[in-house]
Structure 1
Amino acid sequence: MLGSRSDIKIRKGKLADAAAVAETFRQSWVQAYRGILPHHHLENMIRRRGADWWASVIRSGDSLIVLEKSGTIIGYATLGFSRTRGPYQGEIYELYIAPVYQGLGLGEHLFEACRHGLDQRRLKGLIVWALAENSIATDFYWRRGGRPVKQGFETIGGQKLEKIAFAWSS
């Protein structure tokens, strides 16, 4: 069971978080993308995005926020200016919760923290891309009120994968 919400904290990522974020990334990506991404590509991506990679993200000043439970990082998100042309100025690039903590409502809190962070920057509208086969993500964004506004394809490891952009107006 989750316990009280007083043991949950969302904050800006710091350098000391790099290893824990890398582990959360590993766990959540294996769970989300096993069977969707080619195995070799998934393993290489996880290997490349270890603690040193996350430390460089944090050092660069990119917006990384972490979700803690009792002082342990169990989720993270990255966000900033939209990489997609159009009316949506803000984007959540990644939002992941460690598998053991999924389905408890924590992703919603992290998502709302991202929305607040983008609002603080006065970015109008929000867009998030998800692979169409990742039903956990697409269902999550749909339940949060996002609606598909664009579709595209990305070739990963020689495999063509559909991706869907979910958006929220200002």
Structure 2
Amino acid sequence: MLGSRSDIKIRKGRLADAASVAETFRQSWLQAYRGILPQTHLDDMIRRRGPEWWASVIRSGDGLLVIESSRTVVGYSTLGFSRTRGPYQGEIYELYIAPVHQGLGLGEHLFEGCRHGLDQRRLKGLIVWALADNTMATDFYWRRGGRPVKQAIENIGSRKLEKIAFAWPA
């Protein structure tokens, strides 16, 4: 159960968070993508994105946010300028909550933290891509008010996977 709001904190990632973010990445990706991504691709992604990789992300700038519950990192997001041409200047690249902490409202808090961070950068409009087969993600963004604006096919290993862009206008 989600504790009081006072024990929830969203902040920029710190080097000391690298191991926690790597573990959150591992757990959440296994849950979200097992059976969707080819297993060898999934295993390879998890292996490559260990604590050292996340430390380099943290060193590179302020595009990583973490969410803490009772001073423990339980989720993360990456965000910045949109990689997609169009009217949406900001993008959330990743937003994941550790599986044991899902369904408690933490994702909504982190999503709003991302929106605030993009607003602080004066980026107008927001876009987020999600694999169509990841119904937890597509349902989450739909409930947050995002609407599909683009579709694309991504080749991952031997699979062709549909991805959907959800957007929020400026």
CA distance, structure 2, for counterparts of residue 123 and residue 4 of structure 1: 31
Conserved? CA contact 2:64–2:79, under 8 Å: yes
Name the residue aligned to 2:58. 58
Q: Answer yes or no: is 1:71 the counterpart of 2:84.
A: no
State percent identity of aligned pairs. Answer: 83
Q: What amino acid is aligned across from residue 145 of structure 2 in structure 1?
A: G
**TM-score between the two structures when normalised by the length of structure 2:** 0.98
Q: Please state whether the residue corresponding to 1:11 is helix, strand or coil.
A: strand
Q: What amino acid is aligned across from residue 162 of structure 1 in structure 2?
A: E
Count residues with an aligned counterpart: 170
Name the residue aligned to 1:137. 137
Q: How does 1:33-44 map to 2 (within 5 A)?
A: 33-44=33-44
CA distance, structure 1, for counterparts of residue 101 and residue 20 of structure 2: 15
CA distance, structure 1, for counterparts of residue 149 and residue 61 of structure 2: 29
| Unmatched runs of 5 consecutive residues or more in structure 2 | none
Q: How does 1:131-170 map to 2 (within 5 A)?
A: 131-170=131-170
Q: Please state whether the residue corresponding to 1:128 is helix, strand or coil.
A: strand
Name the residue aligned to 1:111. 111
CA distance, structure 2, for counterparts of residue 104 and residue 62 of structure 1: 26
Q: What amino acid is aligned across from residue 25 of structure 1 in structure 2?
A: F
CA distance, structure 2, for counterparts of residue 79 and residue 2 of structure 1: 25
| TM-aligned CA deviation for residue 127 of structure 1 | 0.1
Name the residue aligned to 1:10. 10
Q: What amino acid is aligned across from residue 110 of structure 2 in structure 1?
A: L
CA distance, structure 1, for counterparts of residue 3 and residue 66 of structure 2: 19
Q: Please state whether the residue corresponding to 1:21 is helix, strand or coil.
A: helix
Q: Please state whether the residue corresponding to 2:58 is helix, strand or coil.
A: helix
CA deviations on 1:41-87 (whole Å, 9 max, x unpaired) are 10000000000000000011141000001111000000000000000
Name the residue aligned to 1:126. 126
Conserved? CA contact 2:2–2:105, under 8 Å: no
| TM-aligned CA deviation for residue 133 of structure 1 | 0.1
| TM-aligned CA deviation for residue 155 of structure 1 | 0.5
Conserved? CA contact 2:13–2:62, under 8 Å: no
What RMSD in Å do the two structures reach over aligned CA positions?
Answer: 0.7
**TM-score between the two structures when normalised by the length of structure 1:** 0.98
CA distance, structure 1, for counterparts of residue 31 and residue 64 of structure 2: 21
CA distance, structure 1, for counterparts of residue 42 and residue 62 of structure 2: 23
Q: Please state whether the residue corresponding to 1:83 is helix, strand or coil.
A: coil
